[in-house]
Amino acid sequence: MTTLRTGSAAGRTLTVLRKELLDMFRDRRTGMVTLLSAICAGPIFLLLIFNLIASQAERARDLKLPIVGAIYAPAVVAFLERQQVTVSDAPADYDAQIRRGDLDVVLIIDDQFAADVAQGKAGSVQLVFDRSRDRARASIEQTESLLRRYNRLWGEQRLMLRGVASTVANPLRIETSDLATPQQSGALVLFLVAYYGLFASVMGGMAVALDTTAGERERQSLEPLLMTPARPTEIVTGKWLAVSAFNALVVLLTLAGFYLTLKFAPLPPVGVPFLFGAREFGRFALVLVPMILMLPAILLYVGSRARAYKEAQANVSVLLFVVSLIPMIQLFMQRKEPGWLMFVPVSAQYSLLNTSLRGEAPALTQLALSWLAPATLIALALFAVARRLSRESILIGK
């Protein structure tokens, strides 16, 4: 009595996609956590970094320098004061205060300073600091460079008195020209923004991808689904498109968080006018497309290998570790990037994100190359999941 009904492959794929999207957005808890962390993380993050940079810049600008024995070398002290350094007498327990981080750096002038200079010997001064303290670094460097400048000035004056040109003592004249455009500075900020953008594309689809594979198996709704005329390839494609759509949403929200924060939030002025405008937003999104599509495919594969959600989570942490490590390695390598990097997923994207943040457009050939490996991996992962779904073993051990 029943006629044979066959929907089209595209129709069934679309049905799976629609159902998975509905299911995802009904999952309030996972959805809220994922979306909220995507929206909030960027702004909170930027605020912290900017405050850090601002406070460092502040310290360098108004350098406070406690001195022990200022009376032994009034000329040195006068020079420092001319350079806008706030000079004061050092407290007795200055070394304890440095250890605690209350003081950045203290200058000690030897009580034999004047006598040594009079005898033609070098007068000795001592700098006390704790270099392991990041916040103090700017003050330390500035004090060192001021003292070196004073040293050179003093020496040149002595030579001039003897009728010797200063070039005799300083045969090398060093001129620097920094080719960094304003937005090329602030490497830490660049790293973190690129890293976080990349991370969003990895994390965005995780919960939903595992829920739709390992979760579906755990809830025992997979077997009924496999008994419908929907082919495994159609089921997998539908699920992949749904997870990718969710992932894309998370990435866009994360980028929007960066964009809006930098545009409207009252961030302290740090002299790092690094750009994240509409143009960078677009370039980021473009560079991240392969990630947005690749990670869901890989996560679906990992999820399909597990019998339960918890098991899948444990497996996925290995994947996350590898993915989060790659940009770190690149940061610490600090070498010119080799050409083959564009074939390495994650690495290529990280490099292209950095290019975008430096205000340059990623080259089209590089963009195309960065697609090769992800496209291959997507095809392989989806094929593997479909194969798993058509195997009998998926039904056993539920």
Partner 1 sequence: MIDVDGLQKAFGKKREVEAVRGVTFAAPDGEITGLLGPNGAGKTTLLRMIATLVLPDAGHARVGGLDVVADRYAVRGRIGVLSDARGLYPRLTARENVRYFGRLYGLAGAALEARIDALFATLGMAPLADRRTAGFSQGERMKVAIARALVHDPDTILLDEPTNGLDIMSVRTLRDELRALRTQGKCLLFSSHVMQEVAALCDRIVVLARGRVVAAGTAAELVERAGTDGLEDAFVRLIGSDEGLAA
Q: Give the HSE-up count for residue 293: Cα atoms under 13 Å, Cβ half-sphere.
A: 20
Rounded to a whole number of angstroms, the minimum distance from the CB of residue 15 to partner 1 is: 4
Judged by CB under 8 A, the stretch of 223-231, 262-270, 344-352, 372-380 that binds partner 1 is: 223-231
Binder of partner 1 out of 122, 278, 364, 396 (CB under 8 A): 396
Binder of partner 1 out of 19, 358, 387, 388 (CB under 8 A): 19
Binder of partner 1 out of 51, 126, 221, 376 (CB under 8 A): 221
How is the beta sheet containing 64-68 ordered, strand by strand? Answer: 86-89, 64-68, 105-109, 125-129
Based on the shown chain and the rule CB under 8 A, indicate whether residue 32 belongs to the binding site for partner 1.
Answer: no
Rounded to a whole number of angstroms, the minimum distance from the CB of residue 312 to partner 1 is: 16
Rounded to a whole number of angstroms, the minimum distance from the CB of residue 42 to partner 1 is: 29
Residue 222 or residue 382: which is nearer to partner 1 going by CB? 222
Residue 214 or residue 289: which is nearer to partner 1 going by CB? 214
Judged by CB under 8 A, the stretch of 1-9, 55-63, 250-258, 283-291 that binds partner 1 is: 1-9
Based on the shown chain and the rule CB under 8 A, indicate whether residue 1 belongs to the binding site for partner 1.
Answer: yes
Residue 8 or residue 317: which is nearer to partner 1 going by CB? 8
What separation in angstroms does the CA of 390 have from each of 223, 226, 242?
A: 11, 8, 21
> Do residues 90 and 106 lie in contact, with contact meaning Cβ atoms separated by under 8 Å?
yes
Residue 51 or residue 228: which is nearer to partner 1 going by CB? 228
Tokens of 190: 């660049």
Place of tokens 């995780």: 206
Based on the shown chain and the rule CB under 8 A, indicate whether residue 311 belongs to the binding site for partner 1.
Answer: no
Residue 90, C-beta contacts closer than 8 angstroms, at least 6 positions apart:
66, 67, 68, 106, 107, 108
Based on the shown chain and the rule CB under 8 A, indicate whether residue 397 belongs to the binding site for partner 1.
Answer: no
Rounded to a whole number of angstroms, the minimum distance from the CB of residue 14 to partner 1 is: 9
Judged by CB under 8 A, the stretch of 5-13, 298-306, 315-323, 380-388 that binds partner 1 is: 5-13
Binder of partner 1 out of 120, 163, 171, 224 (CB under 8 A): 224
Based on the shown chain and the rule CB under 8 A, indicate whether residue 10 belongs to the binding site for partner 1.
Answer: no
Based on the shown chain and the rule CB under 8 A, indicate whether residue 121 belongs to the binding site for partner 1.
Answer: no
Site for partner 1 in 226-245 (CB under 8 A): 226-231
> Exposed e or buried b for every residue in 327-351, given b needs 16+ CB within 10 A?
beebbeeeeeeeeebbebbbbbbbb
Q: Which residues bind partner 1 (CB under 8 A)?
A: 1-2, 4-7, 11-12, 15-16, 19, 22-23, 26-27, 216, 219-231, 392, 395-396, 398
